[in-house]
Each structure stands twice: as structure tokens, then as C-alpha cells.
Structure 1
Amino acid sequence: MLSLRVFNKKFIHIVRDEKFIDSAYRDFEEAAPNQNVFLIIGLIKKLKFIKSAKVFFIRPRVLWLFAPLSHFFAKAVIFHSIGSVFEENLLLKINSKTNIAWISWGYDLFPRLKNIEEYLFPITKGFYNSYSYSNETINDQLNGNFKRSFKVKPSNIDLISRINFISPVLKSEFNLLSNSFIIENQKYLRWNYLSLEEDVISKNSEINISGKSLLLGHSGSIWLNHLDGLKELDQLDLEFDQIILPCSYGDERYISLLKESLKEKSETIQLIDHFLPYEEYVKVLEKCKYFLINTERQIGLGNILFFLYYGGFVVIRKNNPVVEWMSELEIPFTELDSSDFVLVKGGDLETKSTLLSFWGKETKRSLTIDYLAKIGS
């Protein structure tokens, strides 16, 4: 049973049923045992992605009523992405004495910089305009007058001004945000999900990327511009025997449009639309020599780390924030002639060492302890 006891302050995490929450729970509980409460806003339902984290469901009305009293029970409130108008309004309702931390997932950051259509390329933009695209939000779980109360979207300036600490996946994303809004650099606090040893390497010590396929994207997200990516491949000097599109999760309407568009190319393109256990997904990755990411926003970083560590090739747009991150870490890459892409070859000892230093278990443990100390002060 959930109990928000006065004077027994804890770190309050606002989360959703997503695959990274188990690792977040593990890391925060290791850093501060029994000091974290993970909340999912909405009615109780069967969890799809969270397997091990201890989470509580809380009705939005209850959380809304308690928000002004947060200084009595919360050391800090941590938003694991801000993906709905309700969460934005809730954020501004939290008592000013309570620190607020935002761990961005990318999808909740880039639309604050410019309209999503500006990240889409011609073919995908046509898909976008063919239907009303929107991520499922917490507002879908609300009803009646309570839902209608949150149609007003707070300004990004008000939100960012209220947030005390911002943790995008990469520092280069914070730089983009800082260029668009006046943000003190002190607000940046490095933290994000996963560690290489626990979430990538430990389960896959015998990985051998020996196939000749190309992995196009990692999900059925419209941000990945799949069909435009296929067109770009005609201009890139890459040798592969098959294209694999993992679409086991993402926007169902967009995935349906992809299926319809690709049904006559089933001999050369394999679209995976069913859930794969992690071990089976790794076998798919082993078949792929290349991983192509056709987007200007950070996405699919887990797959990028996998290919960089195990020796595949990552093909990514020059102006993707991941390229700036690789430059800062001195991970070498080459520009592909007459294109907007760079090619990164992974697997060498220096790259592995760099990744372990930046994204390793010990680094992650130290970052998490520091993170909680700063937001809880």
C-alpha cells in the first residue's frame, strides 16, 4: 500500500510503463535503498514492459491534491519524461520548496525546440499529414471535467523555469535546449538509463556480428523516417543483402502505413511487427552489419551502444546529437561522400574502453549517488 507519510520524505518518481524503468529502479534503489517511490499515474492495469520495479498506480486527482504539499513528503520529484499536458500542469502545481528533476527521453524534448514536422523528411511527412499523429498521453486515462481542465498547455518557458535539474540522454541535447531557451548551465545534471555491463554486455558475452543485413531503425516510431531512409540507401555506398525493420513497438497507425507501403518488397525487406524476447532480438542484431538511423534527434541509443561495442557499423545523420557526443568522446567516424551521413565502425578496444568509462556500471553508480545528493539538497 502506498503511504505518503509526513516527515518520512522520499524521492518521488513519476514514471510510465516503459522498458527502462526496471533499470532505473535498480540503480536508484542501489544508491538509496527504500528511499524511492515509483508512481504511474492512472488506474491499475497489467504492466507490459515493467517486470521487476516496484511501482504504485495513483489516480491523477489524488496526485493533483497532494502536489502543493510535496515539501512534506518529497525529497524531490523526478519526472521520467514529461509526456502529457496533465504532467506539465502537475509539475507547476508542485510546491516551490520541492526540487523538480526532469529526465528527458528525447521525444519530450525535441518538440519543445521545433514542430515535429520539421524533423520529418518528405515521405514520412506525408504520412504524418495523413492522420492526426500524437503519442498516447496520460490524458487518455482521465475523464469528465478533470480531463477538460488540462487542455491548456503551459508554456515551455514556465516549465523550464520551474524545473531545477534537467537530464537529457546526452549533454549535446541540453545544449540544443539551452540555445532555444535561457537556461543556467547549473540546471544540467548528467544521468540516464542503462549501464553497459548490466544491460548490454553481461547477457551477451558471446556476441558475434557476422551477418550482412542492414537494420533500419529500432522501432515503429515516425521519428525514424523509414521510407525516406530506404530512399537514402540508394545514394549510400553500402553493401548488404537484406533490410530489417524492427517495429514490435511504436505508433500502430504509422506501422500499418509502413506495412502497406512495403508489402511488395517483402523479399528484400523484413518488417518485424511482433514482440521479440531480448535474446531473440540480439540474434536479429547479430545478422546486421549496419544500423541506419535516419533522424535528426537522439533515438535508439541502446542499439547504437550495442553496435559500437560489438563491432558493427552505425550510419547516422551528421546533425544528430549523437555525432556531437561521439566527437566529444573522440570516437572516430568518417563522412560518407555526397550524403548527410557519417559512418562509425565499432568494436575496437579503444572505443570499448571509452564506452565503459562513460556508460559503465561504476560510472553509473557514482552518477546516481551524486544525482540524488544534488536534487535532494
Structure 2
Amino acid sequence: MATLAHLFIDEKFIDSAHDSFEAVAPGDSRYFLLDPPTTLKYIRGFEPERVSISTMLGSNFLSSLATFDVVFIHALTDHARAVVAKAPESVNFCWIGWGFDYYELISKRGDRILPLTAAAVANATQSPESTNLDRVHFNARIKRAFARLSSLKSRLKLDKVLSQVGPGRSVEVSMLNKIHHFAPVLPEEGTSILHRGDLHFSLRDWNYGVHETIASFPTRQTNQGTNAIIVGNSATPESNHFDAFAHLSDLQFDGVVVCPLSYGSAQYANLVVQEGERRFAGRFKPLLSFMDISTYQSVMSNARFLYMNQRRQQGLGNILMALYAGTTVVLREENPLFCSLGNLDLPVVSVTDFDPASPPPQCDLNSVRKIVSDHFGRQNQLRRTRALIDACITSRPTLSQA
């Protein structure tokens, strides 16, 4: 019997991870929710063990991590960074990357944001309204912190650790080299990171499954949905909404523009809503509240297009859902998913070739669904989960490596 630990915050992929690990190694894992909120927003399938900031940075919790065969980090958030930085060298960490947490190791953020979106974000950041809004939020955080002095003390301790770790900070590389295994979303991303020469992970093949979503997906028999296009998957500048909207205007797209914005930055979401309403008026439909999976499936299956304008991989689950539904997927060619999915014979259209007036790619939807199910469905997901556990246990760091 293995002893496994999982570190995470309240995020939408954690239920999927719990399902996969419990299916192949029932009862072997403990699930630690770092700095838990009062009410969980995304985790609904199980009850995690809640670990406060003071506990997670305390010697008892940190030393206990060395007793597990593997400690899985689900996204290298600030909380996870602090734990890795303070943990003993002998802890066998496996970092399951999400993209946002490692792309600074591949390219600068500014290189991933297109001109119109960059300009909109820069203008908003410099505006008095933005400054005042930031000040209001900052003051509210300070008031809440002073209302709980113990919390303030813990957060100051966390801030002290984070002043040294994070992109470009003094001990970031040494902190990352305490992580022995790394599972990026795409293998080629891991290879790019290792080409830096200063990081020494063992690359692993694992990511979150989409079997729960595709198993119950309402599918059409043709890929001729309503005249609607879904733009992006979250309220993040890397989605390049402003450039996508300009492109759709140039193409004279006259359908409904649906924009999922419930996940990410609320301030950026407000900017996107303003621009969407300016360009498309009543045809613009922002999705500002978190949806249950069946409702989101319905939105996806009734759209003709999913337009992902990111220069990096993002929203793979959304893309696979769209392909399974028969929705035409539009990606930038520099996005590594464009080649990765194309190599699986999945039909994707480049942004430069996209014409909403043209017929969709000719493909057999049953074949597309089989490819998605074979590569990303439950059976393969459980195989990869078992292989990940075995590989991480077999290749534990030794004291000399540490």
C-alpha cells in the first residue's frame, strides 16, 4: 500500500483528480486543502482535510510530508511554492502543472498577450478608476486581516517566504529543484522547460481527465450548431479577447458571441464585457457565474465555434468537450495544442484560416469522439494514474540527490 498526499487549493479540477486516484489506489491518499475558504466553490465530490496557513508552514506538517511515498502538488500556487520552499529536502514532490504555473519558465507573459488586449489592460491599469478599485480591495483585505490577528500573522509569514520564491526571485530555481517529478499538460512543454538547463525534473505523463464530461455529453449528429461562437474559456488576458473580438468584427460575424468569464480576474472580465457590448451589442452574451457541468455542456454543444485565441495551451478540457460535441475549434498555430491535437487527427482550424461563412471541416464525428475517448477518456486516464504513482514511487529522491 502506497501513502500519497495531495496539496491543492479550492479549484475546479480537484474532484477529477480525487476520482482518478481513488479508482486506482483506493484509500491510499490524503487530500490537503491549503488555506481553505469558509465555503468551497469548486470541490464538491469529497471533503478534504483543511490546512490553515499557520499549519501548512509549521514544522509538524512540513516534516510529515517526508513520511509519504509521493506528495502531489496540484498547480504550483503561491501556497504550494511556500510549502515546497520550507519542506525537508527528502520529500518526494510531484508537480502536476496546469499551465499558468509554469509558463513563465517558457516565455515572458508579455509575449503571450496580443497587442489590442495588452493595450486595453495597460490603459485600465493606468486609469484612476482602476487605482481606486485596487485601493478599495486592498483596504478591505487589511480590515479583514486586522479582524483576525492570528490570520494576519500567518499571512505575513507566508508573504516573507513568497518574497524569495516566484518567477525571477532569488531562490525560485533552488525551490523548483526540490521537486523531483513534473507532469505538464503537454510533454513538449516539459521538454522546453528542461532545455533551460538549470532544472532537473523527471518528466511524467499525467493530466486531469475529461471522462466525466464526455461520458454524459449531449451530442449532435452534425456539427451545424446555432450561429454562436464561444470566445475563450476564462477571464485572463492570455485569452486575448480584444484581438479576437476585432477579428470577428473584421470577418463580419453576425451571430451570438458567448464569452465564459466566471473564472479568472473580475477586473479583466469587466473590461471584456465593456468591449464585447461595444462591438456586438445585444449579440454579446457574457457568462459571469460558475455553471454546473450539464449547463455548460449545453452551451458548448449548441455553438458552431469555439475560438481560443491563446498563444499558449489553455482550456484543453473545453477544447476536448467542443470536439466531442462536434463544435468547430479555432486555435492559433503557435499554440502547441494546434500541432498536438492535429497529430491525433483531431480537426482544428487555425485563426488565420478561420472563416465563419465557410463550411466546417469535413470529419466523421464518431471517429472524432472515439479519438477523444481513447486518448482522454476514463480507461486511459486510470492507466496513466497508475503509471504515475508507480513511476514516482520507483524514482524517489535520495539524500544525495537532495
Kept in 2: contact 1:211–1:287 (CA 8 A) = yes
- 1:112 and 2:125 are equivalent in the alignment: no
1:275 positional shift = 3.0
Q: In 2 relative to 1, CA 101–240 (structure 1 residues): closer, same or farther, beyond 3 Å?
A: farther
User: Match for 2:330 among 309, 315, 318?
Assistant: 315
Residue 91 of structure 1: aligned partner: 84
Question: CA–CA distance in 2 between the matches of 1:284 and 1:44?
Answer: 29
How many residue pairs align between the two structures?
358
Partner SS, residue 164 of structure 1: strand
Residue 266 of structure 2: aligned partner: 252
Q: More helix by proportion, 1 or 2?
A: 2
Partner SS, residue 49 of structure 2: strand
- 1:160 and 2:153 are equivalent in the alignment: no
Question: CA–CA distance in 2 between the matches of 1:70 and 1:347?
Answer: 52
Identity %: 21
| Between 260-269 and 38-47, the greater mean CA deviation after superposition | 260-269
Kept in 2: contact 1:169–1:191 (CA 8 A) = yes
Residue 3 of structure 1: aligned partner: none
Q: In 2 relative to 1, CA 344–128 (structure 1 residues): closer, same or farther, beyond 3 Å?
A: farther
1:99 positional shift = 1.2
1:230 positional shift = 0.9
- RMSD over aligned CA atoms reads 2.9
Kept in 2: contact 1:120–1:223 (CA 8 A) = yes
Question: CA–CA distance in 1 between the matches of 2:301 and 2:218?
Answer: 13
| Between 116-125 and 140-149, the greater mean CA deviation after superposition | 140-149
- Give the structure-2-normalised TM-score: 0.80
Q: In 2 relative to 1, CA 316–345 (structure 1 residues): closer, same or farther, beyond 3 Å?
A: farther
Q: Deviations over 1:311-348 (max 9, x none)?
A: 11111000101112124323354556578xxx977653
Kept in 1: contact 2:329–2:348 (CA 8 A) = no
The AA in structure 2 aligned to 1:201 is I
1:62 positional shift = 2.2
Residue 72 of structure 2: aligned partner: 78
1:244 positional shift = 1.0
Kept in 2: contact 1:17–1:47 (CA 8 A) = yes
Q: Deviations over 1:13-42 (max 9, x none)?
A: 111111111111111111111111111112
Kept in 1: contact 2:332–2:351 (CA 8 A) = no
Question: CA–CA distance in 1 between the matches of 2:288 and 2:37?
Answer: 27
Q: Deviations over 1:280-319 (max 9, x none)?
A: 2222222210100111111111111012122111110001
Residue 294 of structure 1: aligned partner: 309
- 1:275 and 2:275 are equivalent in the alignment: no
Residue 192 of structure 2: aligned partner: 176
Question: CA–CA distance in 2 between the matches of 1:221 and 1:345?
Answer: 32
1:157 positional shift = 2.7
Question: CA–CA distance in 1 between the matches of 2:45 and 2:300?
Answer: 25
Q: In 2 relative to 1, CA 206–318 (structure 1 residues): closer, same or farther, beyond 3 Å?
A: closer
Q: Residues 18-97 of structure 1 correspond to what in structure 2 (within 5 A)? A: 18-43=11-36, 45-64=38-57, 65-66=59-60, 69-70=63-64, 72-84=66-78, 86-97=79-90
1:364 positional shift = 0.9
Partner SS, residue 88 of structure 1: helix
Question: CA–CA distance in 1 between the matches of 2:49 and 2:262?
Answer: 26
The AA in structure 1 aligned to 2:194 is S
1:147 positional shift = 3.3
The AA in structure 1 aligned to 2:374 is S
The AA in structure 1 aligned to 2:226 is G
**Unpaired runs of 5+ in structure 2?**
139-143, 146-150, 355-359, 395-402
The AA in structure 1 aligned to 2:215 is S
Q: In 2 relative to 1, CA 351–317 (structure 1 residues): closer, same or farther, beyond 3 Å?
A: same
Residue 360 of structure 1: aligned partner: 377
1:205 positional shift = 4.3
Q: Deviations over 1:97-147 (max 9, x none)?
A: 22110001111011232332221112221243333999x9xxx98633413
Question: CA–CA distance in 2 between the matches of 1:177 and 1:345?
Answer: 36
